[in-house]
Structure formats: structure tokens, C-alpha cells
Amino acid sequence: MWSAPVLVEDRAFSSTVDYGMASDASGNAYISYHSLAKNGTDPAQKVASIGPDGAIRWKTIFYTAPSVSLGNGRVTVASDGFVWGATSVGFDSAIARLDPTTGAMSFTPATYITETSAKQICSGLQPSTDGTVILSTVRYTTTFSNKILRAHKIATDGTRPWAAAGNAVASAGNIQTGNFPDFISDGSGGAYFSWYTTNPLTCRVQHMDSTGAMTFGTDGFAVGTSTTASFGGTTSTLNRTNPSTVRGADGRVYCFFRAYSGSIAGIVWYGIGAQCFNTDGTTAWGTDGVMVEDYLPSSAGSVYDRQVGSAINFGNGIGCSYVDAATAVDNTAMAVRMNSDGTLAWRTTVASNSGVKYRFVSSTAPSNSAVLAWQGGRTIGASDIYCARVDSTGVLGAPAGITGDLNGDGHVNASDLATLLNQWGGPGSADFDQDGAVSASDLATLLNNWTN
């Protein structure tokens, strides 16, 4: 849609910490990231807004202080349209509410979440009801103490109506050091959390309603209960990690995860598993879920690795992307859609070129399809961004449409003409004849297909 990528900011750093992005109903994007304050020295957390035309609408520094470590940038759009940015501040967290038009902060300073003798590190951020938001944090007391998720509700004036230490998502377990799991909205002001614990390595899912009450028990429910895997008469540990969760149109929540064994005859077996939870937390796909790719093959031999990419909504359908790795640098990107009973609807190869593939994200798209994006490279050391569209039947590629319909709304009209004119003279999606520049011949094509 844009003739060239938009530079949001040259941060002038030698490394990047985690950042977040969200969008609103008007097509504006919001990015929360770590940069520098105006003095060019102090760390600062910013939110930038980019319009649908690619223009930078505003940038706001919502937290800055000398000699602090900022990271885990998060951003979301609340039900009233206001934008919220959050960040970790050392072992604490800060969050701010911003005007979507101007970027002005609704209250200053940003709300600071801290706890005496404990850490509260920013992990996830999602909207709730009435303009409020929910921020999750990883809470622990010492380096080797249990790390457990907490949930905080932030009101529009920056106050926190729940307990100062947040509501415990679980009462026991331990989140792996350096892991800061996100969560998803339940569509009614609450949230679904998924994470994996250490000792044992297993995935759990929790539901929290809009009042902050945990409805899946005090510790959430596990995606599977069995703890051992066996092959050829040898038994080993069964591990489940790296969950990715999506809410279905049927109101149930679906969790995809990496399933792998300990060493069996010198081989670690890797698979992709899935579990469906009913609204009361009971498992719909058996006590151990189903295998999207089984970690126990029918004969000796094993893939190098398998990793979950991201859970996906295909319109009313659900599925996931994942990586099937033959070697460390020979990865195939796959996508699947699941039937409601846990059987496989289809499996498709998204990208089979050599090279690594990781950091998957996905978004729903028109016509019950999904768009996937990932980082990777065709050669060792190379790194680029790749995208693919997968429809609800597993077919890759752009949907059939009208030439000239640049925004995909099914019509060729003034908005498409505006896009073409903005790209005039350069490359872009309006270069219908693919001669390298948007010109009069492309304009003629658009006008010949004008529909309203």
C-alpha cells in the first residue's frame, strides 16, 4: 500500500529490546518502543502513531528517567479509542493513557507499578471494558524464587482498582527466567492467559473474568496430564512449552504448543500439540489434547526441531503456523486448520525455501483468511521479513478480486484512486502493468474497472 517502508525512528542503538504494536478501527498503527529522551542521553519509552497513509501522526515519550533499563514495550487500544503504552522499568512497570489524535497523556506522570521486596515486570497488555485495560506482570522476589503472572486493571484516570500487588493468575509454578508471556482478551472485559512452567515443563491456561476473578481454578488448567513419552520400549519425559492461544467464534479457547520428549535412544522427538478448553475450563480434546504433528513417529528417525509459530483465526476457523526443521538452517513454514472435534481439516506448506524462520505473527484478513509474517533468511546470516496469505481452505496467495481494488473492499472507487495518485511515479501496489512505476497506463486500468 505504501511505495516504501516507513522509518518510525532511527534509535541509534546497537541492539533492540522487545516492542509492541496495535491498530485501531481507522487504520492507524501504534508502536511502543525504547529510544532516547530529547536530551539524547536518558532512556525513554515512546509511543508513535502511523496513519494509514504511512505518515507519522505523533510521537509521545510517556516515561523517561536517567540510568534506568526500559524494555518489554506494550501497546493496546482501549474500548473508548484511547491508546495505552506500557514498559518495564528495571524490575518495575509503568503505563500511560494517550489521546489517539494528539498523543497527549491523560494523566502525568505515568502510573508506576512497584512492590516492596518484589519485582513486577511488564508482560502483556489488553483492553477491558469502559476504557480500562489489563496489564500482566511477571512477579517474583528473588532470582531463584517462583515467577508467577499477576494481573492489574488500570482505570482511565490511572488508578488501580484491584490489589496493589495485582491478582495472581496462578498460586504455584514457575515461569522460565526471561519469559514474559502475553495474553488475549476474552471479548467481555476479561482475559485468557497461557504460559509454561518449569519443573515440570508444561503449559497451562487460565481465564480471568472482568472482575478479576480466576475461573479456571487457582492455577489454571494444564493442556495435558501425561508426563512420559515412550518409543521402542524406552520411556522419557514429555515436555510441553511455548503456548500460543486464540479464542474461537464458538467462545472456546484453543492453545497450540510445542511437545517434545527427553532423550530416547539418543534422540529428542519434537511435535506440535493442541488443546481446546470449554468455557468452564474442561478440556474438549481429551486429557492430553491432540497432536498436530506427532512427536512419536512411526519409525526411527526424527526432525531436527519443531516450533509453534502463532495461533491463527481463519474467520470462524482456528489453526496455527509452525516450523518443521530438518536442520538448524533448513526450516519449512507450515499452517494447519483444525476441526471443532480436534481432527485436522488441512495442512499446507507456507514456505519451503532454505533458511531459518522464526518470530511468527498472524492477523485475520478478509474472506475468512489470515496473513502470516515471520523473520528469516534464505542463507545463513541473512534476515528479512516474509509474508503470506492463507485462506480458510489452505490455499496460498492473494484473493481473487477486481484489478484496481487496492484496499480490498470489493469496489474500485475514489479511495483506490487516491492510493494510486500517492504512488505516482514510483513503485507500489498500483503498478498493475508491473513496469516499475505507477503511471498513466495504470490509471487507465483503474478507471476501466471503476465500479462505484
Please count the residues of the chain. 452
Of 52-66, 85-99, 272-286, 438-452, the one with minimum mean pLDDT is 438-452
- The residue ranges of every structural domain in the chain are 1-170, 223-400, 402-452
Is the pLDDT at 199 greater than 90, yes or no?
no
CATH topology of domain 402-452: Type 1 dockerin domain (1.10.1330)
Spacing of C-alpha 398 from chain mean position: 23
Is the pLDDT at 264 greater than 90, yes or no?
no
297 preceded by a cis bond (ω within 30 of 0): no
Regarding pTM above 0.75, the answer is yes
Decide: residue 41, CB within 10 A, 0-12 exposed, 13-18 middle, 19+ buried: exposed
pLDDT at 302 (0 to 100): 62
Residues sharing a CB contact under 8 Å with residue 388, sequence separation 6 or more, in sequence order: 333, 350, 351, 371, 372, 396
Edge-to-edge strand ranges of the sheet holding 92-98: 70-77, 83-89, 92-98, 111-113
Share the mean pLDDT of the chain: 92
Assess whether the region 1-170 and the region 402-452 belong to the same CATH fold. Answer: no
CATH topology of domain 223-400: Neuraminidase (2.120.10)
pLDDT at 379 (0 to 100): 75
pLDDT at 332 (0 to 100): 94
| H or E stretch at 443 | helix 440-448
User: What does each C-alpha distance from 251 to 39, 260, 322, 334 come to in angstroms?
Assistant: 49, 29, 24, 26
223-246 pLDDT, tens digit each: 999 998 877 778 889 999 999 999
Is the pLDDT at 81 greater than 70, yes or no?
yes
For domain 1-170, give its CATH number from 3.90.960.10, 2.120.10.10, 3.40.430.10, 1.10.260.40: 2.120.10.10
Mapped onto helix, strand or coil, the DSSP state of residue 406 is coil
The one-character DSSP state at 419 is: H
22-44 pLDDT, tens digit each: 999 999 999 999 999 988 899 99
pLDDT at 212 (0 to 100): 97
414-448 pLDDT, tens digit each: 999 999 999 999 888 888 887 888 999 999 999 99
307-333 pLDDT, tens digit each: 999 999 998 899 999 999 988 888 999
Edge-to-edge strand ranges of the sheet holding 344-351: 305-314, 317-327, 330-338, 344-351
Is the pLDDT at 380 greater than 90, yes or no?
no
